[in-house]
């Protein structure tokens, strides 16, 4: 019982520190798309995925980009379909090529120098625990340059280390029928975008991050804590248990 009390106290301290230091993100102007139905397309378990904790992510099957402003919004969901709680995990949202992540509610930006190769933006969302059978959704603000292709990646790592337990993507959003004169353009998950404008030379394939099997062991949980300067508090409370 005493151990449970200490665990609850440290979890509370950790969450309070994160909440007090996360930057306020300008997301109120964006209405997040509800991922119904959501899709785990392009996702697979990482090498550190435990058998009794089934972590997956979902993205909406369709998003809409405003042609003039290039603004869009996404709902990123992480869920635990396993039989046991996850413990501390980190969900990261990373943009590639024409898709740039501008904010994720309740999450911290990944420093530019720490972004994975080929990406242009990213945010890390630290979760103290995801109970069995539960999920959590995050409102993601982004821009999409319709003159380019664009991809998004959702890796999930364990605790504050670099152990990858799940990764979705980089998976494309796009359309095969551009509508440059319309107010907005619908993009489908898993569809390579056909850019607006004059024909351009084929772009080189986006660099794949991580190991050859497509995983992305970024260690972004630790990066999120480094970004807000509270790594010492997290590791101190863990070591005292």
Q: Is the peptide bond before 37 cis (omega within 30 degrees of 0)?
A: yes
Q: What phi and psi, each to the nearest 5 degrees, are found at residue 68?
A: -75, -50
> Which pLDDT band holds residue 176 (cuts at 50, 70, 90)?
very high
For the domain covering 25-224, report its CATH number. Answer: 2.60.40.10
Distances (CA, A) of 53 to 41, 79, 133, 157, 238: 19, 10, 10, 13, 21
The answer for residues whose C-beta is within 8 angstroms of residue 19's C-beta and 6 or more apart is none
Check pLDDT > 80 for residue 136.
Answer: yes
Token pair recorded at residue 229: 């300067």
Bridge partner list, 71: 143
Which residue intervals of the chain are DSSP H helices?
A: 2-21, 220-228, 231-240
pLDDT tens for residues 6-57? 444 444 434 333 333 333 333 322 333 443 447 999 999 999 988 899 999 9
Distances (CA, A) of 57 to 2, 42, 130: 34, 10, 13
Instruction: In whole angstroms, give the CA distance from residue 104 to residue 94.
Output: 10
Token pair recorded at residue 44: 């697979």
Least confident among 76-80, 160-164, 193-197: 160-164
Indicate the domain borders of the chain.
25-224
Question: Contact at 8 Å (CB) between 35 and 60?
Answer: yes
Q: Report the pLDDT value the prediction gives residue 7, as an integer from 0 to 100.
A: 42
Check pLDDT > 50 for residue 227.
Answer: no
Question: Contact at 8 Å (CB) between 149 and 187?
Answer: no
Q: What phi and psi, each to the nearest 5 degrees, are found at residue 179?
A: -130, 70
The answer for residues whose C-beta is within 8 angstroms of residue 68's C-beta and 6 or more apart is 183
pLDDT tens for residues 88-106? 999 999 999 999 999 999 9
Going by DSSP bridges, is the β-strand pair 119-127/164-174 parallel, antiparallel, or unpaired? unpaired
Helix (H, G, I), strand (E, B) or coil at 4: helix
Nearest to 48 by CA among 127, 140, 166, 222: 166
Bridge partner list, 58: 77
The answer for residues whose C-beta is within 8 angstroms of residue 204's C-beta and 6 or more apart is none
pLDDT tens for residues 177-217? 988 889 999 999 999 999 986 544 554 444 444 333 444 44
Q: Report the pLDDT value the prediction gives residue 114, as an integer from 0 to 100.
A: 87
């Amino acid at each position: 019982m005493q151990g449970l009390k200490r665990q609850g106290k440290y979890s509370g301290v950790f969450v309070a520190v994160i909440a007090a230091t996360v930057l306020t993100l300008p997301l109120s102007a964006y209405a997040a798309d509800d991922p119904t139905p959501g899709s785990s397309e392009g996702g697979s378990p990482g090498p550190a995925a435990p058998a009794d904790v089934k972590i997956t992510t979902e993205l909406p099957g369709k998003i809409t980009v405003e042609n003039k402003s290039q603004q869009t919004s996404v709902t990123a969901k992480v869920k635990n379909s396993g039989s046991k709680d996850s413990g501390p995990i980190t969900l990261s949202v990373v943009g590639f090529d024409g898709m740039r992540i501008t904010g994720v509610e309740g999450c911290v930006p990944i420093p530019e120098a720490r972004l994975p190769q080929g990406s242009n933006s990213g945010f890390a969302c630290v979760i103290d625990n995801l109970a069995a059978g539960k999920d959590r959704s995050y409102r993601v603000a982004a821009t999409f340059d319709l003159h380019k292709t664009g991809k998004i990646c959702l890796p999930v790592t364990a605790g504050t280390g670099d152990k990858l337990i799940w990764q979705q993507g980089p998976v494309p959003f796009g359309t095969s029928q551009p509508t440059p004169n319309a107010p907005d353009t619908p993009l489908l998950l898993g569809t390579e975008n056909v850019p607006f404008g004059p024909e351009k030379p084929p772009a080189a394939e986006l660099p794949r991050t991580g190991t050859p099997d497509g995983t992305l062991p970024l260690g972004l949980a630790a990066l999120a804590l480094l970004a807000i300067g509270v790594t010492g508090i997290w590791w101190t409370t863990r070591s005292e248990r």
